[in-house]
Amino acid sequence: MPGGPLDGVRVVDLTRAMAGPYATLMLADAGAEVTKVERPGSGDDTRGWGPPFLEPEGDGERQAGYFLSVNRNKRSVTLDLKDADDIAWLHRLVDAADVIVENFRPGVMERLGLDEESLATRNPRLVGLSITGFGEGGPHGHRSGFDQILQGEGGLMSLTGPVGGTPTKVGVPIADILAGMFGAYGVTAALVERERSGRGQWVRTSLLGGMVAIHTFQGTRWLLAGEVPQPGGNRHPSIQPYGAFDCADGQVNIAVGSEGLWKRFAPLVGLEPDDPRFATNGDRVERIEELEAAMGPALASDTVKRWVARLEEAGVPAGKVAGLDEVYASAQVAHLGLIDEVAHPTLGDLQLPGAPVHWSRTPRGAPAPPPLLGEHNEGSDG
């Protein structure tokens, strides 16, 4: 896929599942040439994660939607990393690369002759990225890191779920995805620094690190105020009214993020802006149950569509709580090019979630479909 600000950057991707592939997906979307190294016969674990599975037209392997979701714009080669000839082939790939990405267990890279010291000798300009569950070293560095485990141990589940209810995971593998995003950010920063120093370096991130990094104000509630946040449902702990509210035919998100917005919003639901119960944001946060009860009848009397129109006309931020069928049918999603259309070699034309970043001067080229297992074995050593 020519084009993009990373056009010409070669990436060797030794990762599987979600965190590492998401990092290399971001690099590929920016134009890097990503070669995904997979196990012969089975490939990335996610090739078997379904349903849904898509059946090929004619002969060929069925494809898992999970794998298809994060592996566009990549090449696939199969190498047996217990075979000396295949390891030599891998070494040739790495010697010609700008970036290597791995999420192996500790000790595997050393066994492959691809530890940091060896790589610095054989390819001094190489940028390496290592993604682990709990980080390298320390009392938990040896532990396996799967998304749900880190959503729990990283505190995110403790913040998520109905008010007073059970901690709940986010509906996508957000710990994996964030580790991948932070990893891709680290790689691009290291590539920029390489232009000054002429030398590569190793980038390390973890699922745990990503979880802690996104705590933001919830983290400071504990670190600065000694409060342990609990699941808050769709309520905001510091701003009100700010959340999802029931209408006649669904839910609307409303964000009254300032006193000026409150003065516009209150009359729409039959409240006086200066009502002493709700006059300040602090009052509204303290009396959220009473506020929701006061707002409820007005909101429930009309449809989501009418409420969104009414709130937007008043300058109050609002939006529908939409299903994915509605999201992918959205004219705004189409306008932003957030759906990639690719021609898969065995599945035909596919639509996939697209890249959210666009570059004005170095736009990416047409997206390529996720590869078949070993599709690019011929000539893969550059």
Q: What is the pLDDT of residues 231-288, one digit of tens each?
A: 999 999 999 999 999 999 999 999 999 999 999 999 999 999 999 999 999 999 999 9
Q: What is the pLDDT of residue 57?
A: 77
Q: What is the pLDDT of residue 322?
A: 96
* Helix, strand, or coil (residue 93): helix
13 is catalytic: no
pLDDT band at 106 (very low <50, low <70, confident <90, very high): confident
pLDDT higher than 80, residue 58: no
Compute φ and ψ for 13, nearest 5 degrees: -110, 110
DSSP 364: B
d(CA 125, CA 130): 16
Joined tokens for residue 280:
């300040």
Contact of 277 with 221, CB cutoff 8 Å: no
Q: Are strands 242-246 and 251-255 parallel, antiparallel or unpaired?
A: antiparallel
Q: Which CATH class is domain 10-214+334-353?
A: alpha beta
d(CA 158, CA 20): 25
Q: What is the pLDDT of residue 77?
A: 97
pLDDT band at 381 (very low <50, low <70, confident <90, very high): very low
pLDDT band at 382 (very low <50, low <70, confident <90, very high): very low
Average pLDDT in the 177-198 region? 98
For the chain, what percent of residues have pLDDT higher than 90?
93
Average pLDDT in the 326-330 region? 97
Q: What is the pLDDT of residue 332?
A: 97
Over residues 123-135, the pLDDT tens digits come to 999 999 999 999 9
Contact of 250 with 319, CB cutoff 8 Å: no
The ranges assigned to domains in the chain are 10-214+334-353, 242-246+251-320
For the chain, what percent of residues have pLDDT higher than 70?
98
d(CA 25, CA 47): 16
Q: Rounded to a whole number, what is the distance in angstroms from the first to the last CA of the chain?
A: 16
Long-range CB pairs of 285-293, under 8 A, 24+ apart, other chains included: 285/237, 285/238, 285/239, 285/240, 288/235, 288/240, 291/240, 291/241, 292/241, 292/245
Contact of 29 with 9, CB cutoff 8 Å: no
Contact of 317 with 254, CB cutoff 8 Å: yes
Q: What is the pLDDT of residue 328?
A: 96
A 10 A CB-CB count for 215 gives: 17
Q: What is the pLDDT of residue 118?
A: 92
pTM higher than 0.95 for the full model? Answer: no
Q: What is the pLDDT of residue 206?
A: 97
Catalytic pick from 29, 147, 176, 340?
Answer: 176
pLDDT band at 379 (very low <50, low <70, confident <90, very high): low
